Amino acid sequence: MKAQLPAIKDLYKGELSDIQQQNEFNVLMNQPPAESWVKQHPFIKNHNYIPIERIEYLLTRVFILWKVEIISYKLIANSMATHIRLHYLHPVTNQWEYQDGIGASALQTNKDANPTDITQIKTSAVMMSAPASETFAIKDAAEKLGKLFGKDINRKDESDYNNLLKSFGDSGLIKIGTFGYIENLIRTSLFDEDIKMALEQQAKTLTENDVNDFIRNLQDNQKEPENPNQKHIQEKLDIIEKQQNK
37-46, 101-110, 236-245: which has the minimum mean pLDDT? 236-245
Residues 35 and 127 in one domain: yes
Residues 144 and 225 in one domain: no
Residues 34 and 143 in one domain: yes
- In a domain? residue 160: no
Residues 181 and 221 in one domain: yes
- In a domain? residue 42: yes
Residues 45 and 133 in one domain: yes
Residues 47 and 140 in one domain: yes
Overall number of domains in the chain: 2
How far apart are the C-alpha atoms of 28 and 21, rounded to whole Å?
A: 11
How far apart are the C-alpha atoms of 141 and 99, rounded to whole Å?
A: 5
- In a domain? residue 144: yes
- In a domain? residue 1: no
Residues 50 and 108 in one domain: yes
Q: What are phi and psi of 217, to 5 degrees?
A: -70, -35
Residues 199 and 138 in one domain: no
Q: Which domain holds residue 220?
A: 173-245
Residues 178 and 135 in one domain: no
Q: Indicate which CATH number applies to the domain containing 43.
A: 3.30.390
pLDDT digits (tens, 9 = 90+) for 202-239: 776 666 677 888 888 888 888 554 444 455 555 555 55
Q: What is the pLDDT of residue 245?
A: 56
Residues 136 and 38 in one domain: yes
How far apart are the C-alpha atoms of 199 and 97, rounded to whole Å?
A: 32
- In a domain? residue 129: yes
Q: What is the pLDDT of residue 144?
A: 94
Whether the CB-CB separation of 126 and 42 falls below 8 Å is answered with no
- In a domain? residue 163: no
Residues 96 and 202 in one domain: no
pLDDT digits (tens, 9 = 90+) for 164-189: 555 444 444 435 556 677 887 888 88
Q: What are phi and psi of 177, to 5 degrees?
A: -70, -40
- In a domain? residue 155: no
pLDDT digits (tens, 9 = 90+) for 8-54: 444 445 554 566 677 778 888 888 888 888 898 777 778 888 999 99
pLDDT digits (tens, 9 = 90+) for 225-234: 444 445 555 5
Residues 186 and 227 in one domain: yes
What global pTM score does this model have?
0.59
State the average pLDDT for the chain: 77
Comparing 61 with 168, which gets the higher pLDDT?
61
Whether the CB-CB separation of 136 and 165 falls below 8 Å is answered with no
- In a domain? residue 125: yes
